[in-house]
Structure 1
Amino acid sequence: MTDFAQYDGYKKDFDFYVGPAQPDGFRSGEFGDRLWADVSRILGTPFDGGTITPDDHNGYIYWFDNNDLSASLYSGPREPGSGALDQVPAILTVISRSENVASSELAERLYTGLTGADGYLVVVLADDGMPIAANFDIGDDW
């Protein structure tokens, strides 16, 4: 397991890049809806009152916030390419607003939940863009 706490700190986020393990028939809206529902379930927070907005590039923007956390997701179209980030078209960021729960704790919970669920490729980047966890081979070309 990755020790996300070592990357935690004031104004530091964890960016989750997520994609389908089986990309056949990929649709950004359907994928975003499923991922958004899984994130809500993993965090144990109903995203009631959140928003889902289509963008101009065949993608969808999801947003939710409350006193404990804020969550944003962009689920865009898959781009052709063989790089690691080409395989993970969704970008998810969850930030703790609680004094009792660090963002790293939410990141660990999300990583464990998403990689334990069938069907997701996951790469987590620290706020400086360096990869800190992945459940597939991302190579060394960073």
Structure 2
Amino acid sequence: MGKFEVHGGTKRDFDFNIGPVENDGDWKRFGDRLWADVARVLEVSFAASPGEPEATGGHRYWFENDRMSVSLYVDEGEPGWVFERAPAMLTARSRTETVETWQLAEKLYDSLVVLGSYFVAVFAEDGMPIDANFDIGDDW
């Protein structure tokens, strides 16, 4: 049993917080690169779903089809906490009976970490950390 399966369930989400290992401060470029990497991992095209600017200065990305829905929001993060290092918020949900959402989340986590370009932390629906490839502290 994988780390994600024990947190799975019919309608359970996994919240990803992701940040660049090398930060040049261009959050739009980072969001576009992350969105492209997520598309490659999930083996779908997000070409028709580019990031849309938000009034708050962040960028929102959204994709859905009959197999999954994926959303990404990127902003500058909250200083002094885990989200400062990993400000992008990603959620992917399976819409099929053949792939569970936890399987989708586990595939995303493993594939993004292997790239070596991202800090990735994943939280269960109740806010408890499941896994991270950087130190997120013990204050949970």
Give TM class, smaller chain.
Answer: over 0.9
Aligned equivalent of 2:125: 127
Aligned equivalent of 2:105: 107
Q: Which runs of 5+ in 2 are unaligned?
A: none
Q: TM-score, normalised by structure 2?
A: 0.94
Q: 1:115, 1:51 → 2: CA distance?
A: 23
The C-alpha deviation readout for 1:68-93, integer Å capped at 9, x for no partner, is: 00000001124432x22221110000
Residue 85 of structure 1: which of 83, 86, 89 is its match?
A: 83
Aligned equivalent of 2:30: 31
Secondary structure at the aligned position of 2:37 is classed as helix
Q: TM-score, normalised by structure 1?
A: 0.92
The Cα shift of 1:130 comes to 0.7
Q: 1:16, 1:116 → 2: CA distance?
A: 15
Q: 1:120, 1:48 → 2: CA distance?
A: 22
Structure 2 residue identity aligned to 1:111: Y
Q: 2:9, 2:34 → 1: CA distance?
A: 26
Contact 1:18–1:88, Cα closer than 8 Å, also in 2? yes
Query: Following superposition, which runs of at least 4 residues in structure 1 exceed 4 angstroms of deviation?
Result: none
Aligned equivalent of 1:42: 41
Task: Report the number of matched residues.
Answer: 140
Q: 2:50, 2:32 → 1: CA distance?
A: 11
Aligned equivalent of 1:68: 67
Q: 1:60, 1:36 → 2: CA distance?
A: 11
Q: Indicate the percent of aligned positions where both proteins have the same amino acid.
A: 48
Please report the RMSD computed on the Cα atoms of aligned residues, expressed in angstroms: 1.5
